[in-house]
Amino acid sequence: MPLLLFSNGHRFTEKQWRQLKPGMSFEEVTAILGCPPGDYTEGKGMYVGFCEEIHVSLVQWEFQKSWSSHHGAIGVFFDKEGKLSHTSFFFAVLEPPPTLGTKSRACFR
């Protein structure tokens, strides 16, 4: 039987963030980011924010909705009509999680 290894695979990047435009609906934002808002770091995300490191929990607390991965975090605000009004992108401080190849090689050392 083959061994299956799963990874959440969510990556939130500056390129995606730049696609978000004021006036977009929640559904449009979610379509660009590819999944519902959430912390996809298992609580271990750290990001650069105003010359200091900030934890994933602060990103979630600061914004109405946030998407956090080991590659970056995106926080957003929606107005009273449910349209996108403000966004922020945070670069990840930590290295992304190891790839499947890296994990496999580590098993055979």
Tens place of pLDDT per residue across the chain (109 aa): 333 333 457 889 999 999 999 999 999 999 999 999 998 887 777 777 654 566 677 777 678 899 998 889 999 999 989 999 999 998 888 555 555 555 445 445 5
Q: Work out the widest C-alpha separation in the chain, in whole angstroms.
A: 56
- Please state, in angstroms and rounded to a whole number, the distance separating the CA atoms of residues 38 and 69: 9
Domain residue extents for the chain? 14-107
Angle at 44 between CA 40 and CA 48, to 5 degrees: 95
Q: Can you tell me whether residue 86 is helix, strand or coil?
A: strand
- Please state, in angstroms and rounded to a whole number, the distance separating the CA atoms of residues 97 and 91: 15
- Position 63 scores a pLDDT of 81
- Please state, in angstroms and rounded to a whole number, the distance separating the CA atoms of residues 63 and 65: 5
Q: Can you tell me whether residue 73 is helix, strand or coil?
A: strand
Question: Which CATH number does 14-107 carry?
Answer: 3.30.1450
